[in-house]
Amino acid sequence: MEKGKLFGTDGIRGVANVWPMTGEMAMAVGRTVAHVLQTRPELHGKTSLPVGIRGLESKTPNRRAKIVIGKDTRLSGYMLEQALASGILSMGADVILIGPLSTPGVAYITHSIRADAGIMISASHNPYPDNGIKIFSADGFKLPDELEEEIERIVHSNDLDRAPRPTGELVGKAFRLDDVHYRYVVFLKSRFADELDLIGVKVAIDCANGAAYKTAPLVFEELGAEVIKIGVSPNGLNINRECGALYPSALAESVKKNAAHIGISLDGDGDRCILTDENGEVVDGDQIIGLCAIEMKRAGKLDHDTVVTTPMSNAGLAISLQKHGITMLRAKVGDRHVVEMMRKNGYKLGGEQSGHIIFLDSATTGDGILAALKVLEVMRRTGLPLSQLKRQIQLFPQILENIRVRERTPVEDLPTVQKKIQNAEKKLGEKGRVFVRYSGTEPLIRVMVEGENREEIQRIASDIADELRKVIGA
């Protein structure tokens, strides 16, 4: 089997049917996840090991492992779902197939039905030819780096090819769970002590033709809102296509045309959202984090008066929060790293500018629907429109350039690029910053420049981006 780095910042991802997102690799990952569960009982907090192989020795099982598999709406999801299931079943573990459901929905169902692990098949915001695999432990949290590395090592070692396999009644069974959408709707509604009343509220929602196309409209409708829906007709090929969180302008016109109070743009797997206020203006993840943090502190629910973001978050967010006595910390890029810092230190709110918002007292991962409901709760309590609430967070001008690359040469090994970055940092001084990093999910390098003067930072960003295109551009 071809070898190389499998896991990025958010699971395994790539073009479907091209390494590493092949059926063969998905089967190997499925087998390995089942194997690791059997040899690492502490992962699911159960002392009774689940299936018929412990290590590489054949044993009679006293309990079967259960692994949930969910997916978004990509055509390739069928192929990868069956391959993963086949690998898991071949190791004597059982599979619970739940079909299209958001990433946070899969995390919730995994924990809710006391499964031993959950797997989400999705490439999130990427275009439809891509796909990915995200793995959750029994508690609904994404796997830590060291466990992903162990899975990767076993997959590449091919040790399981030589292992005894269950036969007869020890082979795993597959089941289908059909009511997951309703279970998740009930869960989301239960996150509010007093059930959120959205009667009289008009909501426009764009589900990106993705995993949340059923659940998201249903939540808001059951809470009494009038819902205008777009991006709810997936055909396997149109996920994220000029819709959803990457294209909030697709919803802005609908918000204005229908006089909606708020627009909610989700991404393909429903774990992030970008909002649109009643005037059709975009409200990004930083602003959502900010206004929710201020409300949580007012209610005495912001533990340690601290939120966690990443280097991509706007410096204006930190300054705005400071005015309210709130500290902003930065974790490494990726919502998984944000969650790890939150769990380690007991923080309750964190997220990314891209729209991954984590409310750790309600969910184990970013949840676009939950984030939108939290903002609507603030709007309901204050009686203020989103356009006014977002003014509490004054952001600096920020430019983001994405450059497609042919190789991932470390930035520090690109002297001409380094020189341009250093010159830019010197020019901006303390009134701006430059951040350059490779995407963990796509063959891209991102250039972010922040400062007081938009024209100046646009020139700087373009200058660095042009140099990157010259030396490593695809």
Q: Mind telling me the catalytic residues? A: 124
Query: What SS3 state is found at 19?
Result: coil
Angstrom distance (rounded) from CA 413 to CA 407: 12
Q: What is the DSSP letter of 194?
A: S
DSSP assignment of 358-378, as one string? Answer: EETTT-SS--HHHHHHHHHHH
In the chain, helix, strand, coil percent, each to 5?
A: 40, 20, 40
Question: In 3D, which of 116, 121, 71 has the Cα closest to residue 91?
Answer: 116
Which residues are bridge partners to 451 per DSSP? 432
Reference 282, options 262, 297, 268; nearest CA is 262
Tell which residue, 91, 29, 103, has the closest CA to residue 66.
91
How much is the CA Rg of the chain, to the nearest whole Å?
23
Residues 113, 11: Cα–Cα separation, whole Å: 23
The answer to whether residues 357 and 371 touch, using CB atoms and an 8 Å cutoff, is yes
Burial of 26 (0-12, 13-18, 19+ CB in 10 A): buried
d(CA 422, CA 420): 5
DSSP strand pairing (57-58 vs 66-71): unpaired
CA-CA distances (angstroms) from residue 235 to 16, 129, 216, 232, 250?
A: 16, 13, 18, 10, 19
**Would you give the distance in Å from CA 390 to the centre of its chain?**
23
Residue 299's contacts (CB-CB under 8 Å, 6 or more residues apart) are none
> Taking the chain, what is the end-to-end CA distance rounded to the nearest angstrom?
27
Strand, helix or coil for residue 450: strand
